[in-house]
Amino acid sequence: MTTAADRRFVRQRAGRRCEYRRMHEDDEPFFAFHLEHVIARQHGGTDELDNLAWSCHGCNESKGPNLASVDEVSGRATQRLKVGS
């Protein structure tokens, strides 16, 4: 289970940007960002910080429990961008 402290840490580590498409929170006024599991728990992912990513609503919705997201512009699969780690 993730904690409020995990959420704050991951959000700060990501610079308040989506770790998939780099969109900044300030550029998304309508939907809150999410703390999400890079590898979903149902696929054996843990709650360790290395497996947590800050994600915009769009990436979180399109990624679901899978390991990558789909870029809406190119239609190609994207992966989490490693930032600050």
SS3 74: coil
Work out which of 10, 35, 52, 56 binds Zn ion, going by CB under 5 A: 56
From CA 5, how far away is CA 42, in angstroms rounded?
A: 23
Work out which of 21, 34, 45, 62 binds Zn ion, going by CB under 5 A: 21
Kindly state whether residue 59 participates in binding Zn ion, applying the rule CB under 5 A: yes
Instruction: Choose one: 5-13, 14-22, 35-43, 46-54; the region binding Zn ion (CB under 5 A).
Output: 14-22
- Calculate ∠ Cα 59-54-14, nearest 5°: 125
**Residues at the interface with Zn ion (CB under 5 A):** 18, 20-21, 56, 59
